[in-house]
Amino acid sequence: MSDEAKDDGLISVFIDDQEVRTKPGTNIIEVAKSIGLHIPHYCYHEKLSVSGNCRMCLVEMGLPGRDRATGKPMLNPDGSPKIMFFPGPAIACGTNASPNMHIKTKSKMVTDAREGVTEFLLANHPLDCPICDQAGECTLQEQSAEHGKGYSRFIEEKNVKPKRTVLGPRVMLDDERCVLCSRCIRFCQEVAKDDVLGFVERGSYSTLTCYPGKKLENNYSLNTVDICPVGALTSRDFRFKMRVWFLKTSQSIDTETSVGCNTEVWSREGKIYRITPRQNDEVNDCWMPDSGRALYQMVEAENRLQTNLVKGKEASIEVALREASALLADGSVAVVGSGRSSVEEQYLLKRLATALDDAPVSLVNRTGEGDGLLISADRNPNVRGALITDLIDELPKAQLSDLAEGIDSGAVETVLAVNEDLTEAGLTAEQLEKVHLVVIGTHQSATTDAADVVLAGMTVFEKSGTFVNQQFRLQKFEMAVPGPKTAMNDLVLLAALLANQTNEKVVSTVDSVWSELSSEISLLHGLSYASLPPSGQLLDASSYEDLPFVEGETLHYKPVALAST
């Protein structure tokens, strides 16, 4: 083994005498992680800068010795290089790998250091795990179990600090629990670019606080709650709602923009309690916007459609589907699709539109201002899916002007709207009055009020499927909770409508639709829902490069026009 980097640019580091090949400059926590060894830490976070203030990750470190006089490597009697270990421990997070570095993570010195740090952290910790929301996912709890004494030598009175400090509209601070790791501060500085948090006072008086007159109210504030290793920062929405060990996680996608943040939906017995980001280094790192975390509230919203309606009256699914099919069969149909529908639904909707004498399809445009991080200008999560499935061949126009003209001129007599409120998209109430209206929707709106037939569908949390985000990354989401008992999966509704038009059997499960998608759409060739990796599958976007997509630059995404610069 030589001191220099080998041809592959990697160097050798020895952790507990096990050789690890790694890139020069990787910090020791990451090197250890690559061989499945966890070095305990609080302040270090892989997506934030290193601050090295918790001292939990102390390890023993050494380098091959060189004779000072001759500069030659010092050797043991058996000829192996002599490792000169530093007299004191060093922090693994702030130590970068260098050639032939030796690390001890299990020595007496390291064990003592960890136990000492843990004892100091617990000296003033309130130990209110029974009322702490972090219990069950608390790093301090886990590492105290591993490195703590199990009893306290601290007989003095503990510090008392404020326990219900409101930092912002969504975040609450319990100062007593804070271990002063500064992850939240670094997140606000480095990721959210909203530098409002900081420590004041010294020693045991140290307190996390907001800059006077400011609040932690940026749209990424709840990420500080996620990265807080203890229960100091808690979400005001999730506070005291449910213990995390009861919650089941399902992989999902944030539907508010075309960024397609990977998320985890936490539910218990069919009720969603919170949404947190799921790490995807190609899309959203470990973050997600606060606005996306509130989306679960739509599941139990007051205006949620609970039943199928025919002319405003409750109807069974059979009657509603029969009525809808009869209206659609009359002809002169226009279809309004949605950038919020999954790829599978858009595919079936395309087939339905084709079966309805090639009915014109328009997509509702939904744009806003991007924030350059995880909110993009396109507020539809799946416009690119509609392009891929051929539902549309150009980007949606700002208003449904073609459809409005069609209705005014009488060319369109029936409108099928999927998951969209047409009045919001620019149609007037008079125009809706003029036509027969069949709506598949989840929430009551002016459009469902005006509709002849309303078919109650599912929200994104109640069904499975895929979205294509702004990078043309195909990502899947899975069902987290069951929907209302009278509502139906949109895919089943579309398949039933299609079957009624064509008198053929139509597949209606995600897996079976995918077997058709992969054979009929060349871009999706060889893919299947089941084999789609959790981090998504990047599709070849070259044929869509010329389209004027509205997105600006966001995290891990550069528009094609900017990508070359």
Partner 1 sequence: MAKVLERKPLTLAERTYLPQILSGLKTTFRHLIKKKVTLQYPEERPPISDNYRGIPTLVKDPEGREKCVSCQLCEFVCPPKAIRITPGEIAEDAPTAHVEKAPQEFEIDMLRCIYCNLCQEVCPEEAIFLQDIYSFSGYSREEMVFKKEKLYEIGGTLPDRHFKWEKKRLAAEHGNVH
3-state secondary structure 466-516: EEECCCCEEEEECCCCCCCCCCCCHHHHHHHHHHHHHCCCCCCCHHHHHHH
CB nearer partner 1, residue 14 or residue 273 = 273
Question: Of the candidates 10, 135, 319, 446, which one interacts with partner 1 according to CB under 8 A?
Answer: 135
Question: Segment near partner 1 (CB under 8 A), from 130-138, 142-150, 271-279, 469-477?
Answer: 130-138
Query: CB 232 → partner 1: shortest distance, Å?
Result: 14
- Which CB sits closer to partner 1, 73 or 162? 162
Closest approach of partner 1 to the CB of residue 362, in Å: 46
Tokens in use for 363?
């997509």
The answer to the question of residue 157 lying near partner 1 (CB under 8 A) is yes
Residue 548 binds partner 1, judged by CB under 8 A: no
Is 166 near partner 1 (CB under 8 A)?
Answer: no
Q: State the Cα torsion 416-417-418-421 to the nearest 10°.
A: -170
Q: Is 239 in the site for partner 1 (CB under 8 A)?
A: yes
* Residue 20 main-chain phi, psi, to 5 deg: -125, 130
Judged by CB under 8 A, the residue of 63, 129, 317, 446 near partner 1 is 129
- CA atoms within 13 Å, Cβ hemisphere of 76: 7
Counting beta carbons within 10 angstroms of the beta carbon of residue 136, is it exposed (0 to 12), middle (13 to 18) or buried (19 or more)? middle
CA distance 190 to 207: 20
Report in angstroms how near the CB of residue 373 gets to partner 1 at its nearest.
32
Cβ–Cβ under 8 Å, residues 360 and 334? yes
Nearer to partner 1, 159 or 519 (CB): 159
Nearer to partner 1 among residue 243 and residue 443 (C-beta): 243
Q: From the list 38, 241, 248, 525, which residue makes contact with partner 1 (rule: CB under 8 A)? A: 241
Number of residues that bind partner 1 (CB under 8 A): 23
Residue with the two structure tokens 């895929």: 466
**242 touches partner 1 (CB under 8 A):** yes
150 makes contact with partner 1 (CB under 8 A): no
Residue 161 near partner 1 by CB under 8 A: yes
- Pull the structure tokens for residue 336: 């309004």
Q: Which of 25, 79, 130, 533 binds partner 1 (CB under 8 A)?
A: 130
Of the two residues 82 and 243, which places its CB atom closer to partner 1 in the complex? 243
**Which residue, 362, 367, 365, 364, is CA-closest to 350?**
362
For residue 271, the minimal CB distance to partner 1 (Å) is: 11
Q: Least Å distance between CB 131 and partner 1?
A: 4
CB atoms within 10 A of CB 198: 15
* Stretch of 36-44, 161-169, 379-387, 421-429 lying at the interface with partner 1 (CB under 8 A): 161-169
Q: Which is nearer to partner 1, 128 or 146 (CB)?
A: 128
Nearer to partner 1, 243 or 304 (CB): 243
Q: Any alpha helices (H) in 39-107, and if so which ranges?
A: none
The amino acid at 458? M
Look at the block and give the residue holding tokens 């199990």: 150
Burial of 63 (0-12, 13-18, 19+ CB in 10 A): middle
Binding mask 191-230 for partner 1 (x = CB under 8 A): ----------x--xx-x-----------------------
| Paired sense of beta strands 414-418 and 333-337, if any | parallel
> Closer to partner 1 at the Cβ: 239 or 311?
239
- Smallest CA-to-CA distance from 480 within 245, 304, 252, 244 is with 252
Positions in the binding site for partner 1 (CB under 8 A): 126, 129-131, 135, 157-161, 163-164, 201, 204-205, 207, 239-243, 245-246
